[in-house]
């Protein structure tokens, strides 16, 4: 048994050496690409290329690793490769240790430079001023609905939606000791508390639960007091040096939040894209129905539609519409042309690769 184990481990070591050689060979190609991009002043981050890499990884995967595990590995490979070209600066709606922070890490990997800002508006400002290359903001939750403030900011901003990511929201109970029996008080954001109510009532019915501004704030409080626990995402445990007592304590396992990556440029078509637009319709009977028939006529799938007050006059609304396709697709061009004739105002917010869970 011992000889067989040593033999297998030696084989793994040899393969690891080859993997390192191949990764460095890949990095040499990345450096050549950097020279070409510098020559033509091209953007270093390419959402469409990111999707191509993930697609190729999954197509070449014969197991036993799952596609998700390999995509996580290659996310770090791409993050490190991008760092050879430039250190991307990513602003996100903080604080550190929240689900937005987790989404940023899952999107751009650990080799990028991250800095939290106190509001969604500040994310837009950092990118607009050029202090961040990209920003990441929440836009929709499967149980709580749309984050309206994000939509309102898209109305006036010249920034574009250039990518998206959707992640399952998992709540974890954590403390500095990691001992369930030592907990006398629990802190968390009100949504995390509400979404973990059944578990709390079953396992800690007599423990005081207190609402705070964020899951990160709860983790900070737990870090300072050994009798305090926090309900927070796993990234908070890493940031604030806490031990996870129980994972996945949420009542529903299909709680998903969608985040937008905002930047200054449109993304190129990948063949699996989504477009977001904002329109203001003319004030007459059947106006919205007419607009929706354009999508039906061209057999384009609508994935979301939301209305928001224009804030310019009473009962005047903007409609935010997401649909499958890219602005450079022929039938999408026809729809947009029809919309220009039938709406009072239209703005393309972005065309970008569709995300996958």
Active site amino acids: 257, 259
Which two three-digit tokens encode residue 106? 């899952």
What whole-number distance in Å separates Cα of residue 132 and Cα of residue 137? 13
Please give the helix or strand (H or E) that residue 171 lies within, else none: none
Query: Residue 100 in contact with residue 138, Cβ under 8 Å?
Result: yes
The radius of gyration of the chain's CA atoms, rounded to the nearest angstrom, is 23
Which two three-digit tokens encode residue 188? 């968390």
What whole-number distance in Å separates Cα of residue 331 and Cα of residue 336? 9
Query: Between the CA of residue 76 and those of 1, 15, 72, 245, what are the distances in Å?
Result: 35, 19, 7, 28
Q: Are strands 134-141 and 145-146 parallel, antiparallel or unpaired?
A: antiparallel
Q: Across-strand partners of 246?
A: 173
What whole-number distance in Å separates Cα of residue 55 and Cα of residue 49? 10
Query: Residue 106 in contact with residue 165, Cβ under 8 Å?
Result: yes
- Three-state DSSP class for residue 231: strand
Query: Residue 127 in contact with residue 91, Cβ under 8 Å?
Result: yes
End-to-end C-alpha distance for the chain, whole angstroms: 41
Tell me the backbone φ, ψ of residue 306, rounded to 5 degrees: -135, 150
Query: Residue 276 in contact with residue 338, Cβ under 8 Å?
Result: no
Please give the helix or strand (H or E) that residue 240 lies within, else none: none
Query: Residue 79 in contact with residue 212, Cβ under 8 Å?
Result: no
What whole-number distance in Å separates Cα of residue 170 and Cα of residue 153? 27
Sequence-distant (6+) residues with CB within 8 A of 78 are: 50, 53, 109
């Amino acid at each position: 048994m011992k000889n067989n184990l040593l033999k297998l481990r030696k084989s793994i070591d040899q393969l690891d050496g080859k993997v390192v050689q191949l990764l460095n060979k890949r990095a040499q190609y990345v450096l050549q690409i950097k020279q070409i991009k510098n020559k033509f002043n091209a953007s270093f981050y390419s959402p469409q290329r990111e999707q191509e890499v993930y697609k190729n990884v999954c197509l070449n995967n014969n197991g036993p690793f799952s596609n998700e595990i390999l995509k996580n590995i290659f996310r770090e490979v791409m993050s490190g490769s991008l760092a050879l070209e430039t250190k991307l600066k990513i602003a996100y709606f903080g604080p550190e240790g929240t689900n937005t922070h987790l989404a940023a890490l899952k999107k751009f990997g650990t080799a990028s430079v991250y800095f939290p800002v106190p509001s969604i508006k500040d994310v837009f400002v950092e990118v607009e001023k050029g202090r961040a290359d990209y920003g990441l903001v929440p836009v929709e939750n499967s149980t709580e609905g749309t984050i309206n403030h994000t939509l309102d900011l898209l109305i006036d901003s010249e920034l574009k939606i250039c990518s998206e990511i959707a992640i399952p929201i998992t709540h974890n109970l954590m403390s500095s000791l990691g001992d369930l029996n030592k907990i006398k008080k629990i802190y968390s954001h009100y949504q995390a508390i509400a979404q973990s109510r059944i578990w709390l009532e079953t396992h800690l019915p007599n423990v005081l639960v207190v609402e705070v501004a964020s899951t990160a704030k709860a983790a900070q409080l737990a870090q300072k007091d050994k009798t305090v626990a926090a309900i927070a995402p796993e990234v908070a445990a890493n940031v604030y040096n806490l031990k996870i007592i129980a994972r996945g304590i949420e009542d529903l396992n299909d709680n998903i939040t969608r985040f937008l990556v905002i930047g200054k440029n449109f993304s190129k078509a990948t063949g699996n894209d989504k477009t977001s637009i904002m329109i203001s319709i003319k004030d007459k009977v059947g106006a919205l129905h007419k607009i929706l028939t354009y999508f039906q006529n061209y057999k384009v799938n609508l994935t979301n539609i939301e209305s928001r007050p224009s804030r310019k006059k009473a009962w005047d609304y903007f409609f935010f519409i997401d649909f499958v396709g890219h602005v450079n697709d022929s039938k999408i061009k026809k729809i947009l042309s029809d919309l220009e004739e039938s709406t009072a105002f239209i703005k393309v917010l972005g065309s970008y690769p569709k995300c996958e869970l």
